[in-house]
Structures are given as C-alpha cells and as structure tokens.
Amino acid sequence: MAPASAWQEPPAPIPGADGVRVLVLSGYGLNCEAETAAGFRRVGARADIVHTGAVIERGAASLDGVHVLAFVGGFSFGDHIASGRVLANRLRFAMGDALARFVDDGGLVLGICNGFQTIAKLGLLPALDRAAGELGPQQISIVDNDRLGYRDAWVKMAIDPESPCVFTRGSSGAILEAPSRHGEGKIVASPEVRARCEAAHLVALRYVDASGAPTEAWPDNPNGSEGGWAGMCDATGRVFGVMPHPEAFLYPENHPDFTAWRAAGHVPAVGDGLGILANGVRAVLGTAHLR
C-alpha cells in the first residue's frame, strides 16, 4: 500500500500562481535545475532557469520581481575546497547585500543538496541573530558522510509540525520520502547553535527509521547527522535547506515502489516533493503583496 503522503491534493495549478516568479540557478556544475523548474511550473508558477554567472553579473537587479530563489543540487565548482564553498564565496562578495535584502523584503530561498551546502556557507541558515541588510556569519557546515563515499538511496523524513518553515507547513507531522544522493551531507554545528535551532524548531525535517523515529543510524540516515537533521529553516521560515531531493519526487512514478502501489490500487495523487514546492508558492501568495 502506498504511504500516507504529506500532500494528497491533485496536481493542479494553484490559483494565482502565475504571478509568482521563481529564479532557478544553473551552471558551474549544478545539475538539478530542470527538475526544480518543472516542479514549480507544474503548480503554476513562472520558473526561469538562469546561469549563476549572469545573476552575479547583473547583481541586485537580477532579483527584481523574484519571489523565490532556488539553489539547486549538483556539484558547484566540482566541490573543490568544500561543497558549496566556492559558489558561496562568489555570491557573498559579489552580491551578499542584495541576497540579504531579498530575504529581508520577504523573498523565499530554497536550497537543495548542494544548494543547502551553499546557503549554509553564505550564512543564510540558520542565520541566528542575522542583522538586517547583511549576511550573517557561517554557523553550520555540511561535511563528509560518516560512511565515506557518495550514497544514492531513498530516505524517509519526519516533518516537524511546529517548525516555522513555510515549505513544510500543513504537513500534520507526516512522513516525507525523497531520494538522497550526496557524499557530504552531515550537518554539524556548535552545541550552542544546535540547542538554539532545536528550541526554535528550525529543524523542519529529520531522517527516520522504519518505526518513524529520528535516527542517526545508517542507512536510514545516510550521513550520520546528529539528531537526524535532514533539513532546516531560518526563524522566518522563508529560507529552507534540505539535503534529499524533493524535486526528484514530483510524480508517483518516480518512487521505486510505484509498480507495487499500482498493483495494489493505492497510488498517491502526487509525489511528496511537489508539496514542498507548492507550499513555497502558497507562502508567496499568502503575503500581503507580490514583490
């Protein structure tokens, strides 16, 4: 039988979503831009794929009229030095103030896998005590998996219903499934940062075992992140980073158990990952005005 999905509504454009503009970064070794844009477009948003170099060249002007900025997965600059480090440095020094203002003005940021690694190094997550108008210091990092090597497998994650994260809102504590594919996915932080994130429910997603309990054990937790941390947001809930790939589960057919679901006559209406993107669009529409 198919699992109880966090989002069961049929795949239809969200009313008003055609007024939501999503900027999906590409280039320099990123490789998930097509799936990410396709997911946002499936729920009715306007998603433009733009090379990161062009964004940097235009600077703050590249964010004009944008509601959601999506940092996608892949291997930016070959993960040289550290995953996401080179891309984060280029963005910080070229347009760090513009990125900070984008968030201050109500923009949403989604970072998936390499995108999560990048926004963590930019200081956009968890952004504790970040001053308005500027990027904060890096407070977490995402390092080598405990079991060294690249792992590609599906995982289950519990959604914290008390998290302010707009991308996971309305889940009622459901289990989210998505493929996880990375070699550097362990989230590390100081005891102080970790405690503050836990207290504020900034850890929106945790790897869970077959019983639904958060786990640090492989393979249910593919990297060994303490507390099962898999995805987190900032205090506003509008900046969200996740290591597994929601954009790779837009359709029920993406799931390895789809054939069994179909045979049993229990096929979910949508892939779990589509709900993440749809919630981001809904969050934009729920604000007082479009940027």
Q: What is the pLDDT of residues 266-287, one digit of tens each?
A: 998 899 999 999 999 999 999 6
In angstroms, the CA 31 to CA 90 distance is 18
113 catalytic? Reply is yes
Rounded to the nearest angstrom, the gap between the alpha carbon of residue 151 and the centroid of all alpha carbons in its chain is 18
Of 33, 184, 247, 255, catalytic: 247
Amino acid at 98: A
- What percentage of the chain reaches a pLDDT higher than 70? 93
Q: What pTM does this model have? A: 0.94
Q: Residue 290 — very low, low, confident or very high, per pLDDT cuts 50/70/90?
A: very low
Provide mean pLDDT across the span 75-83: 86
φ, ψ at 217 (rounded to 5°): -90, 135
Q: What is the pLDDT of residues 94-123, one digit of tens each?
A: 999 999 999 999 999 999 999 999 999 999
Q: How confident is the model at residue 289, as a pLDDT?
A: 38
80 catalytic? Reply is no
Per-domain boundaries in the chain: 17-285
Q: Pick the closest to residue 12 from 247, 270, 246 (CA basis).
A: 270
Say which residue, 201 or 5, is predicted with more confidence.
Answer: 201
Q: How confident is the model at residue 288, as a pLDDT?
A: 39
Q: Residue 1 — very low, low, confident or very high, per pLDDT cuts 50/70/90?
A: very low
Query: Is the per-residue pLDDT at 265 higher than 60?
Result: yes
b/e string for 214-238 if b means 16 or more Cβ within 10 A?
A: bbbeeebbbbbbebbbbbbbbbbbb
Q: Residue 71 — very low, low, confident or very high, per pLDDT cuts 50/70/90?
A: very high
Q: How confident is the model at residue 74, as a pLDDT?
A: 95
Provide mean pLDDT across the span 239-243: 98
197 catalytic? Reply is no
Query: Is the per-residue pLDDT at 231 higher than 50?
Result: yes
Query: Is the per-residue pLDDT at 3 higher than 80?
Result: no
Q: How confident is the model at residue 215, as a pLDDT?
A: 98
Q: Which two tokens stand for residue 139?
A: 């407070």
Classify domain 17-285 by CATH architecture. 3-Layer(aba) Sandwich (3.40)
Query: Is the per-residue pLDDT at 230 higher than 80?
Result: yes
Provide mean pLDDT across the span 218-226: 97
Of 32, 113, 165, 233, catalytic: 113
Query: Is the per-residue pLDDT at 40 higher than 70?
Result: yes
